[in-house]
Amino acid sequence: NSVTHIGRYAFKGCASLSQISFPEGLEYVGGGAFHNTAWYKSWGVELVYIGNLLYKCKIGDNASGFIEIREGTTAICEEAFVSCHVKNIKIPNSVEYIGAHAFDSSEWYGNWYGSQPDGPIYIGKVLFDYKGDVPDDFNLVVKDGTTGITTLPYKIKNITIPPSVKYITSSMLYD
């Protein structure tokens, strides 16, 4: 029960891995950690959960149009919705962590992002992105109550991070 993190691609390609017991204290699972395992392939549901973590959306091109992430989910793992062609996602307030690239190539994020105003973009308690051109000498004050920061542009000159922030992803800064 001491394992709290499973890294990216940790078990990728372990094709015969069919049963896994996860510890209750698991806080993070990296993208692709179980890709091409028998365990992952056995999931016939739309959303694959590991405890309170949403690991992966398996809808692909068979989108139903709407996904509701279950209440009590604390994290959306990195790359969870990559290539998931769902049009609408309801994210509960219980989510405190969203992994890098969680929504890359997802139809929902493209539509949702396009409707957001320029500036910092929050998904619940997570500062997820920044939209638009970053002004020169930009100073960012992260909102109180924010639990995580996923991605921000390099041009930020100063950032004030409140004590409520628990994580900053490894691919936080981009150009």
Count Cα atoms within 13 angstroms, Cβ side, for 32.
7
Nearest to 152, CA basis, from 164, 134, 136, 167: 134
What's the pLDDT score for residue 120?
A: 92
Nearest to 138, CA basis, from 152, 125, 128, 127: 152
State mean pLDDT over 112-137: 89
State mean pLDDT over 133-138: 83
Q: Is the predicted pLDDT of residue 142 greater than 80, yes or no?
A: yes
**Model confidence pLDDT, tens digit, residues 53-90:** 999 988 765 556 778 999 999 999 988 988 787 888 89
State mean pLDDT over 110-129: 90
What's the pLDDT score for residue 113?
A: 86
Are 74 and 94 in contact by the 8 Å Cβ rule? The answer is yes
Mean pLDDT of the chain: 86
**Opening angle at CA 38, ends 34 and 42, nearest 5:** 100
| CA 107/CA 70 separation, integer angstroms | 20
Q: How many CB atoms lie within 10 A of CB 85?
A: 17
**Type of residue at 175:** D
Q: How many CB atoms lie within 10 A of CB 145?
A: 11
**Model confidence pLDDT, tens digit, residues 143-155:** 999 999 988 777 7
State mean pLDDT over 108-117: 87
Q: How many CB atoms lie within 10 A of CB 153?
A: 17
Higher pLDDT, 136 or 118: 118
What's the pLDDT score for residue 171?
A: 59
Q: 14-30 as b/e, with b when 16 or more CB fall inside 10 Å? A: eeeeeeeeeeeebbbbb
Burial class (CB in 10 A: 0-12, 13-18, 19+), 122: middle
Q: How confident is the model at residue 1 (pLDDT cuts 50, 70, 90)?
A: low
What's the pLDDT score for residue 63?
A: 55
What's the pLDDT score for residue 98?
A: 92
**Model confidence pLDDT, tens digit, residues 155-168:** 778 889 999 999 88
